Chain A
Amino acid sequence: DSGVTQTPKHLITATGQRVTLRCSPRSGDLSVYWYQQSLDQGLQFLIHYYNGEERAKGNILERFSAQQFPDLHSELNLSSLELGDSALYFCASSVGTSGAQDTQYFGPGTRLTVL
């Protein structure tokens, strides 16, 4: 158990809908990272928040947004869902934000299926 929790574990929805994925980081970690993992793309970095502020963006679509709340949990919002958005979405957390020696620990993931 990494100490990172994600809910829900599974989510099935229809195209055009909007969903919210939730992540709680490990106790003491200020950084939260979101990743998307699909069969043909591997692990793709989406976005990074540190202590409530956005720090870096990766390959995140405009239909997707995220935020980190004062209690440090984070939510990833996916809207106007398309079939291609079906994937595993992982959250990871780390203590700081410096990159090196700031190890990321992953949650169990949310499997999103868009029908």
Chain B
Amino acid sequence: GQQLNQSPQSMFIQEGEDVSMNCTSSSIFNTWLWYKQDPGEGPVLLIALYKAGELTSNGRLTAQFGITRKDSFLNISASIPSDVGIYFCAGHRQGAQKLVFGQGTRLTINP
């Protein structure tokens, strides 16, 4: 099925570093969502974006809905060990019932 292009696929960083990941699509999206998934668990919603240009923060996390409505990014500042996991972007195209997911970014933090 259709997926969003999410990058990078994996990141290996030092604790305390900032992280940036993004999702792009050739289609226009009305909603962008960012989820985090821990091993063996379900995805947990981090941030939801509903308007082009919207910039939303959740603690050390900041996400933006791209002006073109075809992309979104997620930043994590001052990473800590519990940030380890897989981050997924997801979005709704206008009128679509189906939530489309990116392939995920696996974040590994070296202490």
Chain A interfacial positions (CB closer than 8 Å to B): 2, 4, 6, 33, 42-45, 48, 55-56, 58-59, 88, 90, 92, 97, 99-109, 111
Contacts and interface: CB of A to CB of B under 8 A. Distances in A.
Interface in B61-84: none
A108 B41 contact: yes
Contacts, number: 69
A66 B92 CA distance: 23
Given A2-B44, A99-B92, A48 B97 contact: yes
B42 A90 contact: yes
A103 B43 contact: no
Contacts of A100: 30-31, 50, 92, 94
Contacts of A107: 42
Contacts of B59: none
A58 B41 contact: no
Contacts of B104: 42
A100 to B, nearest CB: 4
Given A92-B42, A104-B45, 7 more contacts: A4-B42, A43-B43, A43-B88, A58-B98, A59-B1, A99-B96, A109-B41
Given A58-B1, A103-B48, A106-B44, A42 B103 contact: yes
